[in-house]
């Protein structure tokens, strides 16, 4: 085989490869115009640097019209993943709000301490609010249990067990104290003296004090054994659970005034407000720190009780609001101008890097294709040579 036949294809392949390689490099190089004297060399700067502003506008237009459209964003908002993210965000917001309730209440109360009640509330509004509240309590038969967070109710058994342990532990501490032993001893001695039995005991020539102390010690020991027995502990725990359940099932209306009807209860509560209408806010019993902290804890309990519903409702309302205001939001953001400004603000090296990340593989194939086409053209020249 004549080695000269390989020369045209190989040379053609090398020329084709490096021609495409240089052409691709000229997309980004040189980065600035090159001058010979006063004359600017053609094709300088490279295509991308010279057309950078047009490129930025084109990219921004494509993104706005085909990628980040209102319809695309709207569909994205309806995805479960997005909804879950917003729910998590709302949940965290509720946690922060709950933590801040006592502090917020303290600030609010501090700002209105010197004001009279009639200066900050309208009695007509108060009457309406009280009427609605009483109606709600009657119609829903709201119980104390309804105000307790579900997370606490689920731990009822655990809390009862812990409370039982604490009560019995405290009881044992008191039983084993010297004061209690002395009290029991005194009571026994007093009983014996008053019963007229001491003469019979003295027959055995044992001091009354020693006998009563022995009896008291045995009583304390028996009580300790009783407290430590699993059966007694279970009895106490069961009693605590039953008492707690009974209390939780009590309706709030019955705690306020079980014999009053809706109207009379509304009037009673309103009358209390009237009595304090000319009182300074700071002088009201509810404004004492322990009371408003209690109110804050109630608010927390209500929020915790309805946390799931609150999260779902808030998320739904937020999504509805975003969808409704989406055209205004998109217009305010001005995606096209934002992207164009961002692309123009990037160093040309970063723009080159972004483009290469997207089409680097394709550019390699184009370069290789140039070599293959050059090789084929060179081989075709050999074929023409033999034909002639």
> Could you report the average pLDDT of every consecutive run of 10 residues in the chain (388 residues)?
73 86 81 77 76 81 81 84 90 87 76 67 76 79 78 80 88 86 80 59 54 81 88 90 86 71 76 70 64 74 82 89 86 83 80 78 85 85 72
Residue reference for tokens 């209102």: 70
DSSP states of 103-118: HHHHHHHHHHTTSBHH
Residue reference for tokens 């980040």: 68
* pLDDT value for 202: 47
Q: What is the pLDDT of residues 122-154, one digit of tens each?
A: 777 777 888 888 787 777 787 888 877 776 777
Question: CA-CA distance, 153 to 75, in Å (whole number)?
Answer: 39
Q: Is the pTM of this model over 0.85?
A: no
Q: What is the pLDDT of residues 255-264, one digit of tens each?
A: 776 666 777 7
Mapping DSSP to helix (H, G, I), strand (E, B) and coil, where does residue 149 land? coil
* CA distances for 109 relative to 99, 104, 159, angstroms: 17, 9, 34
- Evaluate whether 319 touches 83 at the Cβ level (below 8 Å): yes
* pLDDT value for 117: 64
């Amino acid at each position: 085989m004549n080695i000269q036949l390989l020369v045209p294809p190989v040379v053609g392949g090398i020329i084709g490869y490096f021609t495409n390689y240089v052409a691709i490099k000229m997309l980004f190089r040189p980065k600035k115009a090159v001058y010979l004297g006063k004359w600017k060399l053609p094709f300088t700067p490279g295509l991308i640097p010279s057309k950078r502003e047009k490129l930025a506008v084109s990219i921004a237009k494509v993104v706005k019209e085909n990628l980040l459209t209102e319809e695309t964003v709207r569909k994205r908002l309806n995805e479960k993943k997005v909804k879950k993210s917003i729910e998590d965000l709302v949940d965290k917001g509720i946690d922060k709000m709950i933590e801040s309730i006592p502090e917020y209440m303290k600030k609010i109360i501090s700002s209105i301490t010197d004001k009279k009640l009639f200066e900050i509330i309208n009695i007509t509004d108060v009457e309406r609010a009280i009427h609605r509240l009483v109606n709600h309590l009657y119609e829903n038969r709201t119980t104390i249990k309804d105000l307790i967070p579900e997370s606490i109710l689920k731990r009822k058994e655990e809390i009862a067990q812990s409370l039982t342990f604490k009560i019995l532990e405290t009881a044992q501490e008191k039983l084993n104290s010297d004061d209690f032993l002395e009290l029991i001893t005194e009571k026994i001695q007093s009983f014996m003296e008053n019963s007229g039995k001491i003469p019979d005991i003295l027959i055995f020539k044992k001091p009354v004090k020693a006998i009563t102390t022995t009896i008291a010690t045995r009583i304390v020991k028996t009580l300790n054994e009783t407290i430590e027995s699993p059966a007694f502990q279970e009895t106490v725990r069961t009693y605590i659970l039953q008492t707690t359940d009974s209390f939780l099932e009590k309706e709030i209306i019955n705690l306020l005034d079980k014999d009053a009807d809706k109207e009379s209860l509304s009037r009673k509560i309103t009358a209390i407000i009237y009595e304090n209408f000319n009182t300074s806010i700071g002088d009201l019993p509810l404004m004492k720190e322990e009371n408003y902290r209690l109110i804050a804890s109630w608010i927390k309990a209500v929020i915790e009780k309805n946390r799931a519903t609150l999260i779902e409702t808030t998320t739904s309302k937020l999504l509805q609001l975003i969808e409704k205001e989406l055209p205004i939001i998109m217009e305010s953001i001005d995606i096209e101008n934002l992207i164009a400004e961002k692309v123009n603000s990037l160093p040309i090296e970063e723009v080159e890097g972004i483009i290469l990340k997207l089409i680097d593989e394709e550019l390699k194939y184009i370069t290789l294709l140039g070599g293959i086409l050059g090789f084929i053209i060179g081989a075709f020249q050999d074929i023409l040579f033999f034909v002639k």
